[in-house]
Structure 1
Amino acid sequence: MTASPRDLMAQHALGEIPKILTLLDRTPVSRTYGCFDRIYWHYRMIDFPCGMSQEFVYSLALAWSLDIPGNVYYRAPAIRDFVEAGIRFAARSAHPDGSCDDYYPFERAAGAAAFSLLACLEAASIIGLQDDPEIRDFFRRRAKWLATHHESGRLSNHEALIVANLIRMSALEGPDWEAPLRERAARLLSWQDEEGWFDEYGGADPGYLSLTIGLLAESDRRRPDLGLRPACERAIRFFAHFVHPDGTVGGSYTSRGTQNFFPHGFQIAGEWMPEALAVTDRAAALFAAGGPPCYSDDHIIGHHLWSWLLCWSEWREDRAAAQSPAPSAYFPRSGMLVDRKADQTLYCGLRQGAAFQLFDGDKLATADSGISIQTHDGKTAVQHLAGDYDIAQGPEGLSVIGRMAWAKATLLTPIKSVVLRCIMIILGRFFPDLIRRLLQKILVTGRRDAPFRFHRALRWDGASWTVRDEIFADDGWGNVARIGIAGFQTSSTTIMARVWQANHIQPWQDLTAAIAQLGDADPLIIERRLPGNGAA
């Protein structure tokens, strides 16, 4: 008998548990017993433990508690011991104020603190440890730090995590947590755009939005008085437009380029919004067709496992008949477009330089991140970084004109590492947000224009799409080493982006030979009819 999508999702999650157990120091007499940062405790390649790693306790606790068919971890005493050890290590490795670090010492990272606190709160509740004095004190310190800390940048999924944590602390300890809870809930709701998406560094990212939806739906169930449901419903309606025909989500046409899908919130919302279940059904089909994107690195896999296991636990059998995909729509504030014509579906990010994915039926025909140019001095110019572009969109096509930007490719060197450590020890430990803002500008949000301009136009001729690219080199073509088009390129630091998915098997389209005959003032013009790989 073929397993159901629900069971396939759970089996996929359970298949990752050995990796989590490998990352864990499982030796009770070790001083790092319970640490999930193998780079720290085993390889000893870094000088502090990553606080985000302790999020893995949630997935282990769910594996221990859920009677999933074939679950060898169900009620296993050793697994419960490992969960407790992980919570205690999170408590003992935290800073005195309850915060923790993620990528560098004394960082005091809100995301790592919020993810791992939610995981520890839930795991402690599952194994019956929430009233332990040491652990309760840790919960109190970290939640207080989160309640009063405002990180730089708008990351709505982090704010939703903080709200979820404060809801749990209010339930544990009473009304003292109500004022900060309501203040943070109001702050989160103020970050929702009228189109339905929540802000992630200034734009819409469906992948991160699915996590925010999950947190909103679960928080609304616990605290309906906070008024989160209307925002959750608007977010689901926006998100539904961007589940691709093959079940994938997102890509380089979105603000952060992620391919996340956190399904559990759609099951919870299905109680009062039946169409939310159809969203899960479309995305869950991936588990029966080669699997979801590969999230199996040491840092991000933990985010997904607990959502998959919760989805199994929350699964609703009272599902409506299959629904048609959401219709064509253009969301000008996010710059995101879905255009369905005949059997083809175009997903395009106009604010991302008209990066797009085109599906023919339920198969990806072409993915296009825009033109990329590598110069002889080692820099890379791209058109898919968000910018102030001249955008036109109509029933039969679209046009985006703008300037390309330098990709963010800063790497650490031994000297930079020493300098960063010195800065954090001397200054950063007292002003971590200052360092974070500087690094965000370098790696995430700042934009530096490149001496290349582009004009991309997509037109529908009644049977297929044609894309025409014109590239202008302000300083001539002499410094260009390579030029071409990639399908799945991202060019800013997004931790949860750049994962592998089966439909990524698409070669780089090298256009370097086309510039050999151009004069310095001549534009490179490439015209293609899609689907297809030809260029003229």
Structure 2
Amino acid sequence: MSLALLYCLGLPKTLYEKNEKILDWATAGLHFWTRIQHSNGAFDEYYPSEHGYIPTSFTLFSATETCTLLKVEDSVVLESCLKAARYLIRHSEVEALNQEAASIPGLFNVYLLTGEQWAAKAAREKFERLAKKQSPDGFFSEYGGADIGYLSTTLDFLLEYRRLSGDHDVDSVAERIVDFSSYFIHQDGSVGGPYGSRNTEYFLLSPLCLMAEQSSKAAAMLDRLCSGSGGVQAYYRSFDDRYLCHNMLHSLLRALKYAPSEISSEFYLPCDIEHEQYFEDAGLLSVNRNTSHLLCGLSKGGSLSLFNNRREVFSDYGYRIVDKSSGISASCWQRSDSLRGHVSGSYRVDTKFTAIKFHEANPLKHFVLRILAKLIGSRLIPFLKKRLIFIERFGPGRLARQIDILDDGFRITDQLKLTGDVKKIYRAVKFSLRHVASSKYFAFNELDQVETLDWDGSNIVSIERFVRWDTKGKTNLIDVSDSNLS
């Protein structure tokens, strides 16, 4: 699809537009796509015989859009599109809803290309089922919580369906996504982070371009993402190439195609105006005081990021503990059993540490996975997700964190209760231990020295800190009575 867009778009100072070689490559890609399709209509992503939902939904949209852009009427390609559509109708995705959203415009495109009414009906039915899953806060769940980057992917595919079908019911769903997401655009144009369920730090521009002329909020988000030092240029430089091929590049090219002639910045984003907004279902907090913007993921163990003067000046990703067998457990984890509560100005989370098991790749494991993929097909990926992503093993402790919003700053009060043989406690770094490939890329703060706590071996550790709104990156430590930490 990216090649088809390059062929069709009149990008200045490039050799791509109407270049016959680009056309040949795009057409060859379509024919290759038909040859790797399984007889049931599905495609593989990681393993042979995987029969995955995500490679089928994402590539069907890409293939059908390519057919539309290049006016492809090849019967073999169209038959593959029909087979993929039938597969998507028979299956659904319930954990990562962006993947379910991806199927909807692809199905409608199949109707536009072939005239098959059942494909249009299936697209509408999938949209109706998906819309019912939108949280009261406005997000769609990604692995048990709200994630800003993947939410933008959901928004992207829903608005593509809106563009293709003219279905006005999409509008209210999209507006609620934008309302929610606007709170997590940072002053420097960066977005998301470890406070989200999947740690992603991007927001696709193409859906905002489609909304910008009707929504001043979407236009303001687009303006900040494009102009901020931590915005689109920063996160597109950080992506793994796999995701550029996946959907990030054609989203960027579609943004150029849909871009408004000018961006109005009359709307003030939450990062620029005083507010205190807590999203109960998401477990996410956004506060602006004295020109500083604080983000907190209570659903992620109270993970914190503070922005001031258009840069991040403070962050806290909780704690990690190392047991006597050198196993690592983390407090910054999306757990279904964590307890959250709040009154105005005070927010609290009580969560267990999650024990992380690291899996070392080797030829034997790869061989076994190939055999399993052949034997059990589509059941392999749910099995691997349970082992790698949906981890809720108990670590040897729990964290109770309270955040109090005050006039001149905020106070963090932590109590760690250790329940096993622990040999070290240290402050977590930004790099997450959860398997989310799209959030795994280098960040400069990974070069910082890990701060190991001066711990006396007690089972209860109390720590209190105060962070001023105007901090330049330093925090004031406050002694707490009965604290076991110096």
Q: Give the TM-score of the pair, scaled to structure 2.
A: 0.90
Deviation at 1:471, TM superposition (A): 1.8
Deviation at 1:315, TM superposition (A): 0.9
Per the alignment, residue 227 of structure 2 pairs with 285
Selected match of 2:425 from 470, 483, 488 = 483
Selected match of 2:42 from 96, 99, 103 = 99
Per the alignment, residue 417 of structure 1 pairs with 366
TM-aligned CA distance change 1:121 to 1:267, over 3 Å: same
CA distance in 2 between partners of 1:71 and 1:505 (Å): 37
Per the alignment, residue 9 of structure 2 pairs with 66
Q: When the two structures are aligned, how many residues end up with a matched partner?
A: 466
Q: Are 1:470 and 1:524, in contact at CA under 8 Å, matched by a contact in 2?
A: yes
Per the alignment, residue 252 of structure 2 pairs with 308
Q: Are 1:369 and 1:489, in contact at CA under 8 Å, matched by a contact in 2?
A: no
Selected match of 1:117 from 44, 55, 60 = 60
**1:164 paired to 2:105:** yes
SS of the counterpart of 1:499? coil
Per the alignment, residue 341 of structure 2 pairs with 392
Deviation at 1:258, TM superposition (A): 0.8
SS of the counterpart of 2:233? coil
Per the alignment, residue 483 of structure 2 pairs with none
**1:521 paired to 2:430:** no
CA distance in 1 between partners of 2:206 and 2:342 (Å): 35
Q: Are 2:317 and 2:430, in contact at CA under 8 Å, matched by a contact in 1?
A: yes
CA distance in 2 between partners of 1:289 and 1:222 (Å): 29
TM-aligned CA distance change 1:288 to 1:374, over 3 Å: closer
Deviation at 1:141, TM superposition (A): 1.2
Q: Are 1:352 and 1:385, in contact at CA under 8 Å, matched by a contact in 2?
A: yes
CA distance in 2 between partners of 1:366 and 1:317 (Å): 37
CA distance in 1 between partners of 2:15 and 2:228 (Å): 24
Selected match of 2:451 from 510, 516, 520 = 510
SS of the counterpart of 2:322? strand
Residue identity matched to 2:113? L
Deviation at 1:97, TM superposition (A): 2.0
Per the alignment, residue 312 of structure 2 pairs with 364
TM-aligned CA distance change 1:275 to 1:520, over 3 Å: closer
Selected match of 2:408 from 445, 459, 463 = 463
Per the alignment, residue 86 of structure 1 pairs with 29
SS of the counterpart of 1:204? coil
Selected match of 1:268 from 210, 219, 227 = 210
Per the alignment, residue 348 of structure 1 pairs with 296
TM-aligned CA distance change 1:226 to 1:379, over 3 Å: farther
Residue identity matched to 1:362? R
CA-to-aligned-CA distance 1:24-57 (integer Å, 9 cap, x gap): xxxxxxxxxxxxxxxxxxxxxxxxxxxxxxxxxx
CA-to-aligned-CA distance 1:464-504 (integer Å, 9 cap, x gap): 22323322211243xx2x432234232322221123356x4
Residue identity matched to 1:356? L
Selected match of 1:126 from 31, 56, 69 = 69
**Which one is further off, 412-421 or 272-281?**
412-421
CA distance in 2 between partners of 1:142 and 1:316 (Å): 34
Per the alignment, residue 187 of structure 2 pairs with 245
Per the alignment, residue 213 of structure 1 pairs with 155
CA-to-aligned-CA distance 1:133-192 (integer Å, 9 cap, x gap): 1211111111211121224x4221111110111110111222132332222111211221
Residue identity matched to 2:266? A
Residue identity matched to 1:407? I
CA-to-aligned-CA distance 1:424-449 (integer Å, 9 cap, x gap): 22x213xx23x222212111123111
TM-aligned CA distance change 1:377 to 1:489, over 3 Å: same
Residue identity matched to 2:332? H
TM-aligned CA distance change 1:393 to 1:329, over 3 Å: same
Deviation at 1:319, TM superposition (A): 3.4
CA distance in 1 between partners of 2:447 and 2:371 (Å): 43
TM-aligned CA distance change 1:200 to 1:217, over 3 Å: same
Deviation at 1:378, TM superposition (A): 3.5
SS of the counterpart of 2:399? strand
Deviation at 1:456, TM superposition (A): 1.8
**1:329 paired to 2:260:** no
Q: Are 2:353 and 2:395, in contact at CA under 8 Å, matched by a contact in 1?
A: yes
Question: Mind listing any 5+ residue stretches in structure 2 that lack a counterpart?
Answer: 478-485
SS of the counterpart of 1:457? strand
TM-aligned CA distance change 1:155 to 1:451, over 3 Å: same
CA-to-aligned-CA distance 1:286-336 (integer Å, 9 cap, x gap): 479793223442311222111111111111125334321124311011101
Q: Are 2:206 and 2:251, in contact at CA under 8 Å, matched by a contact in 1?
A: yes
Q: Give the TM-score of the pair, scaled to structure 1.
A: 0.82
Residue identity matched to 1:389? S
Q: Are 1:274 and 1:320, in contact at CA under 8 Å, matched by a contact in 2?
A: yes
TM-aligned CA distance change 1:113 to 1:522, over 3 Å: same
**Which one is further off, 271-280 or 84-93?**
271-280
Q: Are 1:484 and 1:508, in contact at CA under 8 Å, matched by a contact in 2?
A: no
Question: Mind listing any 5+ residue stretches in structure 1 that lack a counterpart?
Answer: 1-57
CA distance in 2 between partners of 1:406 and 1:193 (Å): 29
Deviation at 1:93, TM superposition (A): 1.4
Residue identity matched to 2:323? T
